[in-house]
Every structure is written in structure tokens, then in C-alpha cells.
Amino acid sequence: MDWRYHQALLATTAEPLADGLYESLYTEVLACRLAAQPQLTPAFEKVDDDASAEVLGRHIGELARAALAEAKPENRVALANNFLQALQHPDSIHAGPQQLLSLAAPEKLRRRNLRRPITRLSDAALLTNGKDDPNLAGEIRAEMASANSVDLLCAFIRWTGLRLLEPALEDLRDRGVRLRVITSTYMGATERRAVDLLVRKYGAEVRINYETHATRLHAKAWLFRRNTGFDTSYVGSSNLSQAAMLDGLEWNVRLSSVGTPKLLQKFEITFDSYWEQRTFQPYDPDIDGEELDAALERNGGRAVSSPDAYTGLEIQPQGRAGICGSRVRR
């Protein structure tokens, strides 16, 4: 079948275009679809040079995925190599296809358990702590197992959350993996004993924002860097507490340096910029413990009786506008 005829056929059999906003590449098929709806007025704009590679690559990738999906499994490698040949790219794909999953020296492989998260390293995902989703705690432990550095940006750090991650944190320490943590005294919900444990037992580098009235840190995010280049991260609503990481109604998006490279790059740059800001001060339990205690008391309330289920904060009345006995679950 002639390709132009095939394009025209696709255009005539497709659903009519709805009026509204688009970011669709102007192609032969799109031109045919627009011609079939003369009552609508299209508006075009030239793609910027710095974005054209991404836009063109996305279009070609979508067409390639569609063609590979329609092909028989046994013909897909040959078809993919035809694409590469058309691009004059020498990196042809071996039969299978197969993927490299790990590289390890035999002596290291005996000592170290190369666990993998349930979500593929190349994929993005949304975790909701639902019955069909892996829980966040399990995924974080698995991510730590192969990480070469770990960064955590978290408003509240709770003892119960650390207990869920103890084996993975011990492995990080034993492997000499750098662990950086940025947290805050916002709402007084962080527990000093949890922060002290991170520093004393697991060798974490911790920086704290004490002045929450000026800068309120409410982010919750993990970044796992790997020497292989397959970095991953989680950005969402879960603080470092048992309820938030196991069964709370929390949403967390998993990012990937392969699937969402620009987002992960922005995460890395932003975290590093926070780390260098004077707002976030290095924490040493022996020197700064009393300052942390005072800031937590100043910014929050006393611990409730069930720390596993709550952040451990009870908001106290402040003048006539105070709220009595309110519990905030995190």
C-alpha cells in the first residue's frame, strides 16, 4: 500500500478533532484531518530550535512504538534494526531482545543482595498505597539496595518511619553510601531522637531548617543516584512515618532518569541548591541538639499517645483563634 494513501486512510477513519488546545506536530495525517474539518481554524507556531529534537523524537518514537506493537513478536528486533539502519546508526540490537540487569564482581555478589524495586528502573509510576500497588516502604528499601548515593527531602522525620527502613539504612552505612537528609521543624512534627539516630547510627549528613515562619519546607522526596546512570526518585505526600509509608492515603510519583530525564535532572539541581543554602543548617546532635529541641517546641505541640498512626503532634490553642485537640495525620 502506498504510504501517502495509507496516511489519507488514517486521517479519514480517525475521530474528528475536538476544538481546544494542542501541541501536535504538523504532519501529513494531521493536515488531512484538519482539511476534513474546515469549520475549525488552526493556529500554528514554529517549534523552537532548542525543543525541536525533543518534539521530532517524540513523534518518531510514537510511530515506532505503534509499528512494533503491530508487528509479530518474532519480527520486532528485525524491524527495530531497520529503523536504526534508516538512521544510519551502527548500534544494532541483538536477537531476543534481552536487557542487561546487573553487573557485579563474583565476590561482591556473594556479600550483597542486589534487590530490585517492583517498578522497573526505567519506568515512571504512581504509588497510592493501594492494595494493587507496592507500598512505599518496600520500594524505598529495594531502591536503597542498589543506590550509590541517597538524598531525602522530608518535612517530618518520625521514629516509626526509620524503623521500617533499618535494614536498608544499615546496608547503606556498611557500604559507605552517602546519605543526605534535609528536614525541618515545621509544626514540631519531626522527632529529635529520629534525627539523632540518622546521624549517630547511620552516618547521615543532616541539614535542618529551623525558621519555619520564613521558609516552610513541606516537600517529601527521595533521590537514588546510581553509577550505572539509572537514577530514580519519588516525589509525593509521604513523610518518613509508618502510617505514611505503609497504609495511609498517600500519593507518590516515581520518576526515572530514563523515562522522565528532565524532571529527575531538575530534582537533582534543586536538591543540591537547597543543600548549599544557609537556610538549611548542618546538624550535629552533640552541638545542635538543644537548638533543635527548642525549635521543635516553639513550632509545634506535644506528642500524642499513638505515634504510629499520627505525626505525633497536637495543635494547642493560641489565643482566641486557637484550635483545641486537633490531630494532623501525616
pLDDT in tens, 106-115: 766 545 557 8
| Residues facing 253 on adjacent strands | 126, 235
- pLDDT at 312 (0 to 100): 38
First to last CA, the chain: 59
pLDDT in tens, 135-158: 899 999 999 999 999 999 998 899
Cell numbers found for residue 122: 526505567
CATH numeric code, 119-300: 3.30.870.10
Of the candidates 219, 149, 221, 141, which has an alpha carbon nearest to the alpha carbon of residue 184? 219
Encode burial over 266-287: b for 16+ CB neighbours within 10 A, e otherwise: ebbeebeebeeeeebbebebee
Cis peptide before 90 (omega within 30 of 0): no
- pLDDT at 45 (0 to 100): 94
- pLDDT at 134 (0 to 100): 86
185 and 210 in contact (C-beta within 8 Å)? Answer: yes
232 and 319 in contact (C-beta within 8 Å)? Answer: no
- pLDDT > 90? residue 99: no
- pLDDT at 255 (0 to 100): 95
pLDDT in tens, 287-320: 998 999 888 888 774 433 333 333 334 333 344 3
Q: Where are the domains of the chain?
A: 3-86, 119-300
Task: Provide the pLDDT confidence category of residue 69 given band limits of 50, 70 and 90.
Answer: very high
122 and 230 in contact (C-beta within 8 Å)? Answer: yes
131 and 196 in contact (C-beta within 8 Å)? Answer: no
Of the candidates 80, 78, 44, 75, which has an alpha carbon nearest to the alpha carbon of residue 63? 80
